[in-house]
Amino acid sequence: MEDDAACIFFKAVLIPCKREAGILAKTDRIDARVLRAFAEAVTSCNLHPPEAVGEHKWSSANDVSEKKRKQNQIMKRENRITALAAALALFASGLTVAAATDDINPADFTTQIDNPFFPLQPGTTFIYKGLKEGSKLRDRFAVTDNTIVIDGVTCRVVHDKVFVQGLLEENTFDYFAQDMDGNVWYFGEDTMELDKKGRVVSTEGSWRAGVNGARPGIIMEAHPKVGDHYFQENAAPVAQDEATVLNLREIVAVPFGKFTNCLQTKEFTQLEPGNIEHKFYARGVGFIYGIVVKGGNERLGLVNIIRQP
């Protein structure tokens, strides 16, 4: 009976989830593996509809006591199914939580990041300008030659400086690596917020994969498709950014140039549910334009790319 219950749970709950395994694999590989394993197990189950296993035959109009006995058996069986389903759900959840971080294999990653929508060539500096709540905004995103090992993975270090009205407001080191499929992963950041005198007043938002339960997220998919959803940061309650792919054919004009077939994403976080930002990425260039569409007044566009010879 328990085997039949497991099959019911597999077919009713886990097979539909398998359809999402491709996306789950990008942000939590163990989820996809567990779902696939469960779904594959279904194929070996011999599950029959109620008529085939004889539920209707158990009921006899000529034998009331036998009918009651069979009804009790059915109720007990249904209770076992419910209990087993709950246990299996907890089992799958436990696997996900316990093994997600351990599933990262350093051999699967490289610091040579050449994803067409997020290339990070050392010696390249991206310059952005815009407005933030009416104040002039400037962002200097520099891909360094430096690397750092986080959660066993060697990552590329990017130095990101944000200036507001000419004063350095945020000084951040971001850590990225690319897997063998071409997905760019975000392994964390060390960020500092400065006051007008250049003094560090906060490091809120800093996180690293493998520390305090934090896991790496996907900053850019290898093959984005409209509707894809993924976590960019997995460090609750510090950072929990998410993204959804909205479009792959946007036309965007910024001071640096005009681009076609751009990738558009919606980015948001459960930590600030009222904020939504749209970002645009050009193939062969990377991030070119961002605008806050809800929860603020901010926009930023690419004005120059400096490449060291």
pLDDT in tens, 45-72: 343 333 333 333 333 344 444 444 555 5
Residue 292 pLDDT? 98
What are the tens digits of pLDDT across the range 261-286? 999 999 999 999 999 999 999 999 99
d(C-alpha 216, C-alpha 172), whole Å: 17
Three-state DSSP state, 262: strand
| Least confident window among 94-98, 151-155, 166-170 | 94-98
What are the tens digits of pLDDT across the range 176-223? 999 999 999 999 999 999 999 999 999 999 999 999 999 999 999 999
Residue 242 pLDDT? 98
Average the pLDDT over 280-297 and give the result: 98
CATH code of domain 107-307: 2.40.360
pLDDT band at 104 (very low <50, low <70, confident <90, very high): confident
Whole-Å CA distances, 184 to 39, 49, 169, 222, 224: 28, 46, 27, 7, 12
Which amino acid belongs to residue 30?
Answer: I
Give the start-end residues of each E strand in 5-152: 109-110, 124-132, 135-150
Mean pLDDT, all residues of the chain: 79
Average the pLDDT over 17-41 and give the result: 41
This prediction has a pTM of: 0.69
